[in-house]
Structure 1
Amino acid sequence: MRNFLQAVVSLSLLICVNAAVSWIATPFNPPAFPLAVRSPYLSAWLPQGSGAALNAQWPTFWTGQIVGWAGFVKVDGKAFSFLGTPNVPGATFAQAVQKSSKFTSTQSIFVLSAGPVDLTITFLSPVEPTDLVKQSIPFSYMAVSAASTDGASHSVQVYSDISAEWVSGDNGLVASWSTTTGSIITHKVQLVNQALFSEVNDHTQYGSAYYSVSNAAGTTFQSGADVVVRAQFINNGKLPNTQDTNFRAISNNWPVFGLSRDLGTVTSALTDPVVFSVGHVRDPAINYIVNNGALQARSLYFWSQFSSVNDVISSFLGDFKNALSRAQTFDNKVQSDANKISADYASIVALSIRQALGATEITISKNADGSFNTNDVIVFMKEISSDGNVNTVDVIFPAWPALLYANPQLGKFLLEGLFRYQASGQYPNKWSVHDLGAHYPNATGHNDGNDEAMPVEESGNMLIMALSYAQKTNDLSQLKQYTSLLDQWTQFLIEDSLIPANQISTDDFAGSLANQTNLAIKGIIGIKAMSQIAQLVGNPAQSANYSSIASKFVSQWQTLATSTTGPHLTLAYGNSASWGLSYNLYADKLLKLNLFPQSVYQMQTAWYKTVAQPFGVPLDTRHTYTKSDWEIWTSGIMTDAVGRDLFISSVKKFASDGLSSQPFGDWYETTNGGPEGFRARPVVGGHLGA
């Protein structure tokens, strides 16, 4: 038995903008809380809409499909639910009452009242960007602590389970499972028939999910049908340490994997937390094309340090206290840095970081002797929610500010797979490839050249990112190794960026268009970036030539791109009534090129103030929708704080308006704050670009 109702955006939500919730929400109530967000396949969220307590919705995968995750507590023999919306016929329990919610860059923290005891539930998805081993571990924490609120002592037991829904996008498939005991109790569950490197409904179809807790005194476990296992705890306050061996379809009596801990007597002092770990591990992780069309199976980086998943879990659980301390330090740094702009901005950034990094995986290859080669690191990113491509250049590009902030080396490793493939000579086009593979986790290239064509977009993006990494780190190794490839793309930009042919840009949903003003900006900046790259790698003559071309292009571009009927840039040359967000100017500021005159920035700053809608400035004159990442980038090129804050406050207003129950979307309607189709995409890393 279970509740099949998914979170939906109802008509009442469309009316109820900025709806107040019944609990204290810090810094605001988001569209969805990240609960366990560590990889494209470990991605659990609590949908919100106008507001849903931790025990008022089932957690969902980023697609909106339920991933069963339940929690109960017993206080002096009375049971309360605190996580999920389980239905347990014949068992009596109440709902704990949510008192507060809070999110930081790494944590989502809830306090619920279960009668005379408060529970603090902390979901920690570590962000460890400078530790490649830790950042590559696809596990997350849930920690539960209790404290008496009435001055008396109380008997308290805590329970939680996950369901087999964590292992597939098809609940009709058969799963199997096992439980291991020792110093740690771990439930392991997987599909019986696995399919390597495949997905169903964006869930991986191979590997295993793990749910673990330390085997401290008073810890018990059980696997079995949801109603059986949950009723066992509700009625008895403990589990019988038994395993269901009737392997079956995920939806057949919903097998769940429960863990329970007796906290004993709880006083007003907050108890040490019961720490659960949840994860999903598959190996190999990525199928990557190498020379001559051969395919290389790549593994997550952490395998270089661990020989088994049980070792990983033991290390991960044992590290919780230190991981929490590191997370708090990281949270405080992000908060401090972002607060220098505004409190609204700090809240946007805090909601974005887990989502941005949660779309990535850090991989390594093996040496001939089977050992792992930690000198061969490639990071892969899934284009979540749009089409599932691998390492899409124009998805990495908006995510780039988060990478530069967290650890620029992660950006280098993201670019490496793209550079290496194209340097192998297998990609036939003269411009940059759009992505490394049509369907994650298969980075199998596009040797036929029939990837989605964004020639100016992707060539400019690669040049801009390559230079910005070198500027940030003084590491010129990638520029030197791939100079000829970078120059090849620059040659193409000289042909096609001043007056771009009819093509799509990163905003492909808006359609193709010739003579795009904003796309031309990117191409011209790409040429100027190559002039800087040439200087860095010791080719001053080439540098001077490209710099001269870029400067001439800017002068011609100004004449072509400025409206004759209003003080603004156009969307497309010759259409003076058109305009759009000139977010590609952000790269001019990022790279400190000073290529475009200050008058352009001043003109755009004044213009956007005159065309803002209630929830922000439209992407362009073709539609009234916008993109939050590009709004934040545009805020970064404004010449005054009023213009900057217009964009930042608009994105925060959208994020907190109660109209969406999806993980933070980047595409929304400026007239009413309603969400469009995108959700959970790593492009929110662009929110660090203000």
Structure 2
Amino acid sequence: MSLLVVVAIFSLLHVAVNAAVNWTAMPFNPPSVPLAVRSPYLNTWLAQGTGAQLNDGWPTFWTGAIVGWAGYVKVDGTTYTFLGVPGNSGTQKAVQKNLTWTSTESTFLMTAGGIDLTANFLSPVNPTHLVNQSLPFSYLAVSVASNDGNSHSVQVYSDISAEWITSNDSLVANWNTTTGDVLIHEVQLANESVFAELSDRAQYGSAYYSTLNANGVTYQTGEDTTVRGQFIANGTLLNTQDTEFRAVSDRWPVFGFAHDLGTVKDATGPILFSVGHVRDPAVEYIVAGNALQNRSLYFWSQYPTVDAAITDFMADYDNALSVAKAFDSQVQSDASKVSSSYADIVALSIRQALATVELTISKDGDGSWNTSDVMMFLKEISSDGDVNTVDVISPAWPLFLYTNPALGKYLLLPLFEYQASGQYPNQWSVHDLGAHYPQATGHNDGKDEAMPVEECGNMLIMTLSYTQATGDQSLIKTYYNLLDQWTQFLIADSLIPADQLSTDNFAGSLANQTNLAVKGIIGIKAMSSIANMTGDASRASNYSSIASSYAQQFLQLATSSSGHHLTLAYGNDSSWGLAYNLYADKLLNTQVFSESLYQMQDSWYSNVANTYGVPLDTRHTYTESNWEIWTAATATTSHTRALLIDAVHAYASSGLSSVPFGDWYDTVSGKTQAFQARPEVGGHLALLVVNASVSASASSSSSSVASQATGASGSPAASSTGASRSGSARALSWDGRLVLAHAVLLMLVTVGLGWVIAV
């Protein structure tokens, strides 16, 4: 299929989908807009699909469960909804004019009568400041300005519901409001279960909604219709607390604030709200002797109470916004050197991936915080909820290399420490640290999901890449024997892998997997480099020779008889797949495989590409977006690189999905398979850290390709409800032009894509 044909279809799809919304969306209308996305349990989105205003539906947890979050603005006595669908009578809907989003911010511009309202959702990304990065809070900043040159009386209201603490609305909640320089609503379950989850929601800890206390600010807790009705009628709240604790769905308790801005003409400073979810302890971790250790979020090392942390978080808004804009600018600059499409993909991925990890510390025997004992834990969101899954950390790895390689070290440490304790009985690397986040209780029975070559190769590759990026040899020196043990397993089982799973376990196990062999061979070469760094010249030479020998044998075993591509498995001549594991060879600059192999694969991919990318392999038409981007990072021509990147961009911007960036999707239909909100999208930063340069693209629908950022040196700098259901989300209003655009999209999908498949 001609690249020009692919580009033309991508462009037409983009135009048709973006015509389906009646507001400006920059850079495009995403599948789901991140609102408060900071941790596995503070993970709130606005589903889009073909488009939804901020007040067309309720914000939801990443699973799709409603988390009631409402907002009103009262202008000259008329109340407009700008956030959520609270549905009280006597209100109108603000009209959305604009949506823009970056790596850290989602900003909505709404018109409500004579004023324009800007709602900015900022989920800070501060990866080199561990205290700030560990704070599980997010900002909502609301500002207003006259749009007709006249002065207007304006009051702003917002609340959250008790839905923020559980997925079971029949459970009883209790709550409290504290007053001071910051007004803080806190809500939690009456009967908590530490470390437990229900439908991926923590069943312990508290949700917090806060605002600055100032003249004209009032608060109230109580039944949704009562509290909201009070604001609609009067523009203020009663400074009262409902103390009749009850089930979340029993008269829907909400926790509201109102700000009376008086008369407004020029743009106001932001009205600041923060939302968060805090639990302590955060993670249960297995240590030597099968003992269990409670670990807390890093921010506790600086703050004695949650209220103190919130107060500081609110006071830090101006700085947080400045840091966020600098981060966004750096990311945009770095990623745009690859292409504008690539920059969009990266920006949509960062918040999502970083919200799957939590920075933790332990306590010393005297009860003081041990800030030298930092470990980070990752939840395998949207699949099986494992803790620190090695083959989930691996695809997300480029994110950590780019933002702060130390974060990668903190992810690997709990895996290394557990296996160094001798409690894990297998000779290969463990698959994960526990089957139920946040319980990292290990697998002392050795019955974790077995991916021997996959995980051994991953641990070796990630450890070497961290060491190369930082010069810190602590991992390779401390855990040298473990790394060598895993290398011995790779020597035995990676050239001709036994029937086993790879990271794409949904595709099933397979013997003689070509792509798995690639990872194992690079893993052996990685250990050669590690041995060389530590002065073990004998092992370095031996492992280098083995890797070189295996690479030569591999080419004979894995190349199709036509010489046009690698096979999916040895001996299956008509099969093929994405050889994305070659990315590690480029990342580490190990040069195990010849450039001719990369050129062969580069030439092949354009022959088998569908509208939304190259299938993972010949067994299915689905793919994974992170592997598309990894493969793009190994491309030898700008045409193939652009083909893969633009295919992922077309999928993300198609309007065919309404879940947080699903990485597993069908390359023909563009349909998301089952995954959403996962850390794997961190792999989309692959081109920002690979040790290669890319040439300019002469024929891409994106901006031209230029030399990309490399290594950590390119990473950005950073400084220190559902209430009444009568107001259900409404469908978008379609005028004739939108109907036509939708029809064009359907025509392209059903007719144009069928033609492409035939070609």
TM-score normalized by the length of structure 2: 0.88
Alpha-carbon distance in structure 2 between the residues aligned to 1:666 and 1:18: 21
Aligned partners of 2:31 and 2:658 also within 8 Å: yes
Report the Cα distance in structure 2 between the residues aligned to 1:393 and 1:244, rounded to whole angstroms.
Answer: 47
Q: Which structure 2 residues correspond to residues 533-682 of structure 1 after superposition, within 5 A?
A: 533-565=530-562, 567-682=564-679
User: SS state of the match for residue 73, structure 2?
Assistant: strand
SS of aligned partner of 2:518: helix
1:121 aligns with 2:119: yes
Give secondary structure in 2 for the equivalent of 1:229. helix
Alpha-carbon displacement from aligned partner over 1:45-78 (angstroms, at most 9, x marks no partner): 0000100000001000000000000000000110
Measured in 1, the distance between the counterparts of 2:244 and 2:501 equals 52
- Structure 1 residue identity aligned to 2:241: Q
Letter matched to residue 638 of structure 2:
A
Q: 2:348 aligns to what? A: 351
Q: Secondary structure at the residue paired with 1:611?
A: coil
Q: What per-residue deviation string (whole Å, max 9, x for no partner) do you get for residues 531-556 of structure 1?
A: 00001111011000000000000000
The aligned counterpart of 2:525 is: 528
**Alpha-carbon distance in structure 2 between the residues aligned to 1:253 and 1:494:** 64
Q: Which residue of 1 is the match for residue 27 of structure 2? A: 27
Residues 1:55 and 2:55 are matched in the alignment: yes
TM-superposition CA deviations, 1:595-622 (whole Å, max 9, x none): 1000100000000011100111000000
Counterpart contact for 2:576–2:617, Cα < 8 Å? yes
Counterparts of 1:589 and 1:510, CA distance in 2: 26
Identity %: 66
Contact 2:18 2:29 in 1 (8 A): no
Shift, 1:151, TM fit: 0.4
Of residues 282, 305, 313, the one that matches 1:285 is 282
Determine which of 418, 428, 452 is the counterpart of 1:431: 428
CA separation in 1, counterparts of 2:246 and 2:535?
64
Is 2:40 aligned against 1:40? Answer: yes
Name the CA distance, whole Å, in 2 between partners of 1:71 and 1:350: 26
Task: State the secondary structure of the residue aligned to 1:642.
Answer: helix
Match in the other structure for 2:167: 169
For 1:535 and 1:18, locate their aligned partners in 2 and report how far apart those are by CA, in whole Å: 53
C-alpha contact 1:62 1:680 (8 A) present in aligned 2: yes
Which residues of structure 2 form unaligned runs of 5+? Answer: 1-12, 688-759
Q: Which amino acid aligns with 1:25?
A: A
Paired position in structure 1 for 2:154: 156
- Secondary structure in 1 matching 2:80: strand
Contact in 1 for aligned 2:18/2:28 (Cα 8 Å) = no
Distance 1:474 1:192 in 2: 49
Please list, as runs of the form range in 1=range in 2, the aligned pairs for 1:170-209 lying within 5 A after superposition.
Answer: 170-209=168-207
Is the 1:19–1:657 contact (alpha carbons within 8 Å) kept by the matching residues of 2? Answer: no
Residues 109-148 of structure 1: matches in 2 within 5 Å? Answer: 109-148=107-146
CA distance in structure 1 between the partners assigned to 2:618 and 2:250 by the alignment: 51
Q: Matched residues in 1 for 2:667 and 2:17: separation? A: 13
1:247 alignment partner, one of 245, 248, 251: 245
Look up the equivalent residue of 1:582 and give its one-letter code. A
2:282 maps to amino acid: A
CA distance in 1, matches of 2:456, 2:618: 26
Q: Deviations over 1:250-280 (max 9, x none)?
A: 111111100110111111x321000100001
Once the 2 structures are TM-superposed, how far is the Cα of residue 20 of structure 1 from its aligned partner?
Answer: 2.6
SS at match of 1:610: coil
Residues 102 and 110 of structure 1 are in contact (CA less than 8 Å); yes or no, is this contact kept in structure 2?
yes
d(CA) in 2 for partners of 1:672, 1:17: 15
Are the counterparts in 2 of residues 87 and 227 from structure 1 also a CA contact under 8 Å? no
Q: Name the amino acid aligned to 1:560.
A: L
Give, in whole Å, the separation in 2 of the partners of 1:173 and 1:19.
43
Query: Would you say the 8 A contact 1:613–1:670 is kept in 2?
Result: yes
1:356 Cα shift?
0.6
| Cα deviation digits, residues 638-659 of structure 1 (max 9, x gap) | 0011100101000000001001
The letter for the 2-side match of 1:79 is T
Q: Is the contact between residue 386 and residue 432 of structure 2 (CA under 8 Å) also seen in structure 1?
A: yes
Question: C-alpha separation between the residues in 1 aligned to 2:295 and 2:146?
Answer: 49
2:261, 2:383 → 1: CA distance? 45
Give how far 1:87 is off: 1.9
Name the structure 1 match of 2:316: 319
Post-superposition CA distance 1:350-392 (Å, at most 9, x none): 0000001000000000000000000000000000000000000
> In structure 1, the residue corresponding to 2:361 is in which secondary structure?
strand
Q: 1:221 — aligned with what?
A: 219
Choose between structure 1 and 2 for higher RCO, CA contacts under 8 A separated by at least 6 residues.
2
CA contact (8 A) 1:222 1:242 kept: yes
Asked if the contact 1:140–1:279 (Cα under 8 Å) also holds between the matched residues in 2, the reply is yes
Q: Please tell me whether the aligned partners of residues 566 and 576 of structure 1 are also in contact (alpha carbons under 8 angstroms).
A: no
TM-fit CA distance, 1:171:
1.0
Q: Does 1:453 align with 2:450?
A: yes
- What's 2:87 paired with? 87
Give the counterpart letter for 1:188 in structure 2.
E
Partners of 2:675 and 2:44 in 1: how far apart?
17
Question: By how many angstroms is 1:170 displaced?
Answer: 1.0
Size of the aligned set, in residue pairs, is 674
Return the alpha-carbon distance in structure 1 between the equivalents of residues 343 and 262 of structure 2.
40
Q: Shift in Å at residue 428 of structure 1?
A: 0.3
The structural deviation recorded for 1:565 is 3.4
Alignment RMSD: 1.0
Residue 402 (structure 1) aligned with residue 399 (structure 2): yes
Q: Which residue of 1 aligns with 2:708?
A: none
Alignment partners' CA distance in 1, 2:107 and 2:239: 30
Aligned counterpart for 2:385 among listed residues 385, 388, 400 = 388
Looking at structure 2, the residues matched to 19 and 416 of structure 1 have their Cα atoms a distance apart, in angstroms, of 48
- Amino acid across the alignment from 2:27: P
TM-score for both structures, normalised by structure 1 = 0.97
SS in 1 for 2:661: coil
Match of 1:6 in 2: none
- Give the whole-Å Cα distance in 1 for the aligned partners of 2:530 and 2:65: 46
Letter in 2 for 1:674: K
Deviations 1:417-449 (A, max 9, x none): 000000000000000000000000000000000
